[in-house]
Structure 1
Amino acid sequence: MTGAIYLDYNATTPVDPAVTDAMLPLLTSAFGNPSSDHHYGTQPRAALTRARAQVAALAGASAEEIVFTGSGSEADNLALRGVVLASGVDRPHVITQRTEHPAVLHACEALRRWHNADVTLLPVDSEGLVEPADLAAALTERTVLVSIMLANNETGALQPIGELSRVTRERGVLFHCDAAQAVGKIPVDVTELGIDLLTVVGHKMYAPKGIAALYVRAGVRLEPLVYGGGQERGSRAGTEPVAMAVGLGAAADLAATDLASGGHHRIRQLRDRLHASLAEGLPGRVTLNGPLDARLPNTLNISIDGILGHDLLAAQSGIAASTGSACHSGAHEPSPVLTAMGLGTSRSLAALRLSLGRWSSEEDVDRAAELIVSAARAVATR
């Protein structure tokens, strides 16, 4: 990549050239409808079947348990609304947590408004983690679904999904996990996690935007969001976007190879190198937000004392990164995630999310540290 040093892989990833190469035939010669019985449907149908198996293998699932969707938000909505409407419970109860992705939080709010659902938002501790005891205490006889993300998009915090799902299994409650930020970055196995539904997102793992998947454990019933021709075994109507699905499948294969070769350990070393360089360059001013160990290997969320995160990024165009704050009518507000963790306003507004990826290098990390340190010193003296 050219231009600013890219440290925003949690926002989106570049499309891997190998993914593009895999997609091209499905955009040109193999253009047919995979549902067609004639010659032009044969290659797209086979490509779709292969892509489904590739995604399933990365998540430890079976191919028939993968439903392709248009986005992670759609997959989350299909999981939540699909389970609630299929449950037949008069006043269904859904549990999630305060630092969940807006796709889940807003879907829960819609279920409350339109389907008479009760929604419980679990608190998190100072590292952004849910206590299994809090989940156990929140379960009721009307609870039909728990939805807890695997990895937080801002801090990288890894929830204790295995412990949480054990609580729900004992009560016969379905468990959904948004793993958009985790799949491809760390090993993920739905059987080991003990979950029933899992969201996978293409543009977080070097596939294009506009493709995602929902793992649905065999036997779990969902009411579809989209009705029509019965594609995706009735879970999501509409002619399948074969090229996009093939891109996701190719990305899944690349991720599996990278994980097997220890690529995530290389990224962790770069992340820690960046953290150490920033702490050395700004002694006493750098504070980690989120867990030290139980987090994604690529994610570094820090607050730099004496500055605002958006001021630092505005002063330094040489890096592309994110803050956790949102701007409304010219005023910046603290990240809801960091606020839920109990961080004060000044620390939250000082936060930077630096996320690394496949093409991050030692040279990038060292230069980024220099630029951030220089900008932080300059902004603090204004």
Structure 2
Amino acid sequence: MTAKQMIYADNAATTKLAPEALEAMMPFLTEEYGNPSSLYSFSRSAKKALTDARAVIAECIGASPDEIFFTSGGTESDNWAINNFVLAKFHRQRNILISSIEHHAIFNTCLKIAQVHHYSITSTPVNEKGRIILPIYKEHVEEFPDGISIMLANNEIGTIEDIAQMADIAHHYCIPFHTDAVQAVGHIPIDVRDLGIDMLSASAHKFNGPKGIGFLYVKQNTVLKPFIDGGQQEAGRRAGTENVAAIVGMATALKLNCERMSDNRRKLKNLSKTFKTIISEHLPDAVFNGDLIRRLPGHISLSLPGISAEGLLHVLDLQGIAVSTGAACNSKSTEISHVLKAIDLPEKLAKGTIRITFGPNNTEDQPRYIADKVIKYCKKQG
């Protein structure tokens, strides 16, 4: 089945490349192929493109250009930030504080650090809406971890955390604070100065940019150790010839999303409202997970009691509808996700949980169509 024949509603997994981003990338995939680190004139265009892209991305998140470091994506950015807590030897308490709903790019990196470097990992809990329980979080901070990483918006249930308040608490104890903002950048307003964070991770393919490229924001004067060894690219912090075309595409896509953000958010909220209204009317036992107010626009986590999420996903796929049962990077697992466990969702609901994430390309009639197919499947199963 081709993209033209399907309804794509899994934008939390990845997004369609913006035509403007592709157009901006093309010269650097064809004629302007010079290495930006070379000294001759042919490479000046590539070098200037990197400089301009860094400035555009910085402006979009309220940073300075020299605070932006290009990576291969959100996973690398997360890995770099977490490992930097160890490499920079901030406090030497040999402990890292994260939340119970972090992405596996954070969780699994912490597990490896615990095994290799003999660190302890503290996981601070969330409430039934997926919000960090601040009194418990503060108790954990008072134990002086080497670093803290709390995601800005959750990929599975869409809840947005109060990062500014948590970063402020961390800094009261002089503890560096990182946020995984992969799901948030380009979709909600972000100003790193207002958030008060030290590091932030982002990935281009989540905001209509190309896959395989992302960035790590690092606040000035924050100790940042190299994560990949080799040449002196990225101010000597991240070796490897820069992917100029992808970087240009990322900057173009992010700027477009920021310019269109108000209109996109309004549209996505309406699409979600349409879907939720229809589902609630016909399936009164259905549960919508996450914080219903502080959440990503267009993001729906729906639990259906007595329903197999995998069975529903298969039926929807046969009808040309693409949704997911959770995080795409963990879609092969049949276990209940750690996020749903963390919010204490009953097993009968967790097993019937699907994620629908609308994007700007979705039309007004598509939420109705998807809801109709979900309802028919549930009625048939009941």
Aligned to 2:52: 50
Distance 1:377 1:101 in 2: 34
- The alignment partner of 2:132 has SS state of coil
Deviations 1:112-138 (A, max 9, x none): 111222211111111111122212101
1:273 aligned to 2:274? yes
- The alignment partner of 2:42 has SS state of helix
Give TM-score, length-normalised by structure 2: 0.95
Amino acid at match of 1:98: S
Aligned to 2:117: 115
- Tell me how far 1:239 sits from its aligned partner: 0.8
Distance 1:21 1:276 in 2: 39
- Tell me how far 1:369 sits from its aligned partner: 1.4
1:354 aligned to 2:356? yes
Distance 1:25 1:140 in 2: 52
Deviations 1:295-325 (A, max 9, x none): 1011011112231111111122221001139
Give TM-score, length-normalised by structure 1: 0.95
Distance 1:294 1:245 in 2: 31
Distance 1:116 1:347 in 2: 37
Aligned to 1:174: 176
Aligned to 1:303: 303
- The alignment partner of 1:377 has SS state of helix
Query: 5+ unaligned residues in a row in structure 1: which ranges?
Result: none
1:231 aligned to 2:227? no
Identity of aligned residues (%): 36
Aligned to 1:263: 264
Distance 1:278 1:105 in 2: 33
Deviations 1:170-189 (A, max 9, x none): 11111000000001111111
- Tell me how far 1:368 sits from its aligned partner: 1.4
- Tell me how far 1:34 sits from its aligned partner: 0.5
1:313 aligned to 2:318? no
261-270 vs 150-159, greater mean Cα deviation: 261-270
- The alignment partner of 2:4 has SS state of coil
Distance 1:132 1:85 in 2: 28
Deviations 1:225-284 (A, max 9, x none): 10111111122111111111001100111111111x4321211111111111112232x1
Distance 1:334 1:17 in 2: 37
Q: 2:71–2:213: 8 Å Cα contact kept in structure 1?
A: yes
Distance 1:18 1:325 in 2: 27
- The alignment partner of 2:152 has SS state of coil
- Tell me how far 1:372 sits from its aligned partner: 1.5
Alignment equivalent of 1:11, drawn from 9, 13, 23: 13
RMSD: 1.8
Amino acid at match of 1:45: K
Deviations 1:147-198 (A, max 9, x none): 0000000110011111111100111111000000001111111111110100
Alignment equivalent of 1:104, drawn from 97, 103, 106: 106
Runs of 4+ in 1 over 6 A off after TM superposition: 325-328
